[in-house]
Structure 1
C-alpha cells in the first residue's frame, strides 16, 4: 500500500512515529529503477501472478460436443484474432482507418448529412417554408424594428440561431454521433488506440488520448473535459492544445467537407495542412514541455457487430446533451450580435477581423465568419457556408478559409472549459499561440497556391 502511495497507510505509519521521509525516499528510488509508475508495475506483476495461478489450477473438463462444433468455434476465434491483427498492424490498420474515415466521415457526415439533409432542411424547409412565414407573422405582430431585428433579422434568434441549430448543426452532429457510436460498439476504438499509440508517443501522448481526440470531432468542449482521464499533466496539456488548434467539431467538419467536396485536390490540401500542423505542434510541444510520454495499456474488448439499440441510445443521449448545450449558446450569440449592432461594437469587431482576413487573401466580409467562429466553431462554419453559397469566395479562397477557420481560436465554450481544466495561464497561452498561427498558415497556403497558379 505504501508503494502505491496510499494516504491511509502513510497516515498510519506517521501516527506510529515512523520516518515517513526515509520511506518515501526508498519508494522514489524503487520507482526510478523500474522507469514506470509503481502502480503500473504492481498491476502488471499481480496480473502475471494471477495468470500463473490460473494456469496451474484450472483444467478443461470433458464436454459433450461434436467435432463440428469445436471446429466452428475454433474457426470463429481464429478469424477474430486475424481481424484483430489486421486492425492494429500499421500496414493494414492505417488503410482500414482511412476507409472508416472515408465512408464514415466524408461520405456519411460530409456527403449525406452536410449535403442532402442540410440542403433540404436549411434551403427548402426553413429557407422557403418556415422562415418566410415566421418573419411575416412576427413583423405583423411586433411593429418595433429593434425587436424585429433581434428575433427575425439577419442574425435573429429565430431566423439564424434556431435555423442554424436545427437545420445545420443538428444533422451534422447527429451523423457524427451515429458513426462514433457504431465505432464504439464494435470495439474498434481500443484497437485504434493501439494502432496510433506509437505515433502519439512522438507527440507526447499515449494511445489513451485517442478517446478525447476522436470525441473532439463531435464536440471539442466535451472532449476537453474528457482529457482529465489522461495519466499525466503534460499529456493533458498537449491534448487540450491540439483539440483547441486542429480538431474541428462535427458541425464544422461536416460543413467544410461538404464545401470542399467540389474538388478532391482541395480536400487533400486541407487535410494534409491540418495533419501537418497537428503533428508539428504536437511534436514541438512534447519537446518544450518537461516529462516523458506515459506508458499505455488498455483492456481489449472482443470485436462484435454493433447493436442497433445501443447505437440509437448512445446517439440520442449525446444529441440531447449537445442540443441542450448548443441552442442556448446560439441564442446568446444572437443577442450579443444584436447588442453589438445597436452599439456599433459588432461593426468594429468585424472591421478588426477584416484586416487579417484580407492579409490571407480573403474578402473583408470574411471577418464576420471569424467573429462568428469565436462564438462557436460551428457558427463560423455556417458563416463560411453562407459566403460559399453567395459566391463571394474563389476556389483558392475556399481552401484558405477552410484551413484558417479550422486552425482558428476555440469557441467560447471550449475556451472556458480549458480555463477550468488547465488554468487561466495555460488557456491564455494556447490562445496567444493559436490566433496568429492560424492566419500565418493561411497566409502561407494562399501564397503558395496563388504563386504556383494551382487550379482546384
Structure 2
C-alpha cells in the first residue's frame, strides 16, 4: 500500500467532479485536513486488475492563481508539497485508506465542463503547465446534445495534446474508457519521485490562456443546424434578470417555505409523533419499569426529562421532520441550478453588506447547518468577506434544527408570529452586515459567478442527498442532543436544574417575562442551539412569551461545535467575540420585545 501512486482529480465546482470521484472509487474513501490548514480533501482508491492507486479529490477551483485557500492548496498538491505521513482526521463509515501520500502526483484527471467549455479549458491550461501526465474528462455531454450542439472531441484532444474522454458522470457514461486511459497513462508515466517542478507564474500567461481557450472552443464546439432555444434555456436566462427574476424568486422562496412547514408538520403529526408516542416510547417505558425500580434513576430514564422520552421525542418528532423537509427543498434548489441565479439576482443587495453575490451559497448553507456554511466561506475572495458571512451565520441564521424548533413552537399557535421570527432574522442580518462592512477595512466586493445550466432535478440524486444529510443529522445532531437531554434529566431529577433556575430567575422572569422553568432551555442551548427553543413547546406560554423565547433562541449563543469551528477557522479571540455579541443581542432584543409587546397584549 505504501507504494501506491497518487492521481489528482481537479476541476471547477459543480461540474460533476464529486460524482466522477465516487464513480471511480466506490465507497472506500477517507477525508483529511490538508497539512497546516482546515481545508478538507478526499482520498479514495481506484481499483485496477493487478494494482490500486490513490485518487485525491482536490478542492474545487476555477483557477490556480492562489487567490483563496482552496486554490493555494490545489497549487501545492500539483507542485508536490510534502503531505506525507499525515493522518486522516475522520472517516464516514468507510475503511481507512493509506495516508502515506507521495510527494508528486503520477497523473492528473482534469474534469472540464462541456457546457462552459472555455472557462474549464483556462483551468486545464494552468494544470498542464506542471508537466504531469493528464487526461481530460469532458463531462455533462448530455446538456450539449440536448441543446443540439456538438463538440469535436478528436480535435479538442489534438489541440490539447492529451486524451479527452466524453462523459455523463451521473449516468456513469465514459467511466470504463476513463479507467482504461488512466491505466495506460500510469503504465507509461516516468518515476516522479525525484523530478523538480518549475515555478509557474500564471499572471504572465493569463491572457494568452483565455485567447487560446476561445480559439479552440470556436472550432471544437458547434451547432450543426440553427435551433430555437429550449424552454429551459429561455427560463434559465429569465431567472437572472430583475424581471421576472425578482418576483419569481419571492414566489419560489415562498413555495419553499410552505413546503418545509407543510411537509414537516405532516411528517410530524401523522407519522413520527404517533409512531414514537404510541409505539416506541411506551414499549421502552414498559421495559425500563420492568427492569429499573421506581426512583431517581428510573425518572432519569423515563421521567419528565427522561432520556428515553424527551431524548427520543425532541430530536425525532419535533426536529427531524423539518430537517427532512428542509433538505428536500434545498436539494431541489441546489440540483436545479437555481441557487447561483438567486445569488446573481441578490448581488446588488449583498454588495451593500460588503459581500459578493456568490456569498449566497454559504449564507443559504447556514440554514442547513452553521458548520459547513462557515467552512464554505473559504471560497470567498477576502478575509473581510469571510468574517462578515461567518458573523451573520452565527448571529441571525437559524440552522435547520432551530428552524424546525421554531415551526414546532409557533406553527400551530401563530403563523404570523412564525413569519415574524424569520423576517426579524433577515432584518438583523441586513443591519449587522451593513454595520460590519463599515467598520472592517477592505474594498467593495466584485462578483465572478458561473451560472450553470437550469436542470430538471434527478430523483435519484435528490434521494441520495436527502438520505446522506438525514443520516448526518442523526449522527451529528440527534445523538448529541439525546446525550445532552440525558444530562439535563440528571440535573432535573437531582435538583441541580432548580438551583440554576433560581440563579437565572432575575434574567428570565424579570427581564424576559418568562416563567422560571424557561431557564432550562437557556442552559441546554449552550450545547445544542435548538434546545434553547424545544423545551418551550412543553410549557404553557402566551403567544408573546413564545415569540420572545423564539427571538432569544434565534440570536442565542452558537452551539459548542460552531464555537470550536470558529476557533479552528479563525482564532479563539473571534469565537469569544461571537459568544459575547450573540448573548448580548439575544437578551437585549428579547427583553425589549417582552416590554414593548406587554404594552399592547
What range describes the TM-score normalised by the shorter chain of this pair?
0.7 to 0.9
Structure 2 stretches lacking a partner, 5+ long: 1-62, 80-200
Q: Determine which of 359, 376, 381 is the counterpart of 2:528.
A: 376
Q: Is the 8 A contact 2:336 2:457 kept in 1?
A: yes
Match of 2:400 in 1: 250
Matches within 5 A, 1:296-375: 296-341=447-492, 344-358=495-509, 359-375=511-527
Pairing 1:184–2:334 present? yes
Matches within 5 A, 1:52-131: 52-54=214-216, 57=219, 63=224, 70=226, 73-76=227-230, 79-105=231-257, 107-113=258-264, 115-121=265-271, 123-131=273-281
Q: How does 1:425-444 map to 2 (within 5 A)?
A: 425-444=573-592
Change (3 A) 1:44 1:247: farther
TM-score by length of 2: 0.62
The equivalent residue for 2:317 is: 167
CA drift of 1:376 comes to 1.2
For residues 179-218 of structure 1, what are the structure 2 equivalents within 5 Å? 179-218=329-368
3-state SS of 1:265 partner: helix
Q: Residue 111 of structure 1 contacts residue 258 of structure 1 at CA under 8 Å; is this kept in 2? A: no
Q: TM-score, normalised by structure 1?
A: 0.80
Aligned-partner Cα distance in 1 for 2:303–2:66: 61
When structure 1 is superposed on structure 2, of 434-443 and 291-300 the one drifting more is: 291-300
Q: Which moved more, 1:42-51 or 1:277-286?
A: 42-51
SS in 2 for 1:365: helix
The 1-side partners of 2:457 and 2:289 are apart by: 50
Partner of 1:233: 383
SS of alignment partner, residue 448 of structure 2: coil
Structure 1 pair 351/293, CA: closer, same or farther in 2 (3 Å)?
Answer: farther
Greater helix proportion: 1
Instruction: Check the 8 A contact 1:246/1:277 in 2, yes or no.
Output: yes
State the structure with bigger RCO (CA 8 A, min sep 6), 1 or 2: 1
Root mean square deviation, CA, Å: 3.0
- Does the residue aligned with 1:157 lie in a helix, a strand or coil? coil
**What secondary structure sits across from 1:271 in the alignment?**
helix
* Number of positions where the alignment pairs a residue of Structure 1 with one of Structure 2: 408
Q: Do residues 260 (structure 1) and 422 (structure 2) align?
A: no
Deviation at 1:426, TM superposition (A): 0.2
Shift of 1:180: 1.0
Shift of 1:108: 2.0
Counterpart residue number, 1:295: 446
Quick one: distance in 2 between partners of 1:220 and 1:58? 43
Report if aligned partners of 1:150, 1:334 keep a CA contact under 8 Å in 2: no
Within the candidate set 277, 286, 302, 1:136 is matched to 286
Query: After the TM superposition, which of the residue ranges 337-346 and 122-131 deviates more from structure 2?
Result: 337-346
SS at structure 1 position matched to 2:239: helix
**Change beyond 3 A, Cα 1:56–1:406:** closer
Return the offset for 1:56: 6.5
